[in-house]
Amino acid sequence: MPLKHRHKVAVIGIGAVGSAVCYGLVNQGICDDVLLVDVNMTKAIGEAMDLRHSIEYMGRNMKVRACEYSECGDADIAIFCLGTPQALLKRDENGNVMRDSMLEVAIQMVRPAVESLMRSGFNGYIISITNPLDTITQLIWRMSGLPSNRVIGTGTSLDTARLKCILGEIINVDPHSINAYVMGEHGPTEFIPWSIASVGGKSMDSIKADNPQLFENFSYEKILNDVQVAGPKVVNKKGFTNYGIASSVIAIARAILYDECRVIPVSTLLEGYYGFSNVYASVPAIIGGEGVREIIDLHLTKDEMKQFEHSVNAIKEANKTAMSFI
């Protein structure tokens, strides 16, 4: 007797990140079917073929194929990996990408993708990695009509992984043993609530006080800066980032498919939490079969709440700008 349900994940946008996500899904074997959707169908078909050829040496058999949006209606999860083409972005006199330009281009790409996906009858979960992350994820939620707990942005999940990696190297401990988060905007106003950071139940402040030699060259401010410049450093050296963010999005998808009830900092709708409403921002949340099952309301210090408010206000400003492009 065949199984009543096959776990199916659609990956939308098969660029450097999308292809890494697809490979990770196949490599970890977390679903039964992987659907590749891209405006360049020829590339999507080629990626699907290459992935199928790898299955012999993976842990399990899976079905991998390229398809149109119309074939995604019964997918459990749709992962938006739509990147903003550099050629379409406007830059300032210093060559830096103008944030409003990135937002405008992202909306132009995401809007038709969401409309096409929803026309297929899709009623699953959406995970987005498209920047500007928080604003785009909130727009996807509004355009899709899905419940907010089922529209999730990767948010600061990767920033948090980078933070734990840096801290692990400083104090020489497995990053898995570190309890710390980056919160707020996935962007320049993100912050680290050091008051809740710990290792093995010992606060980071205590670790720092008891082991000053470890932190001689690492202030909290420098650590935050190192987290923020990690992505640009990777881009400068290899042209893009893909493995880190792919791992983040796959962890979220796995938590949903297997109801892991895992705590991951994601961009989700805040309605009353931390005193904010009607805004997507990154907070630690319990991710399971319901999507965002519960937001963890941390007891932050007054200074940390000020940083959070500053970050949320930046997101709200971006949200206002986004409305002018719709």
Instruction: Catalogue the active-site residues.
Output: 186
Which DSSP helix (H) or strand (E) runs through 210?
helix 204-210
User: What is the 3 state secondary structure string of the chain?
Assistant: CCCCCCCEEEEECCCHHHHHHHHHHHHHCCCCEEEEECCCHHHHHHHHHHHHHHHHHCCCCCEEEECCHHHCCCCCEEEECCCCCHHHCCECCCCCECHHHHHHHHHHHHHHHHHHHHHCCCCCEEEECCCCHHHHHHHHHHHHCCCHHHEEECCCHHHHHHHHHHHHHHHCCCHHHEECCCEECCCCCCECCHHHCEECCEEHHHHHHHCHHHHCCCCHHHHHHHHHHHHHHHHHHHCCCCHHHHHHHHHHHHHHHCCCCEEEEEEEEEECHHHCEEEEEEEEEEEECCEEEEECCCCCCHHHHHHHHHHHHHHHHHHHHHHCCC
Closest CA to 39 of 143, 113, 136: 113
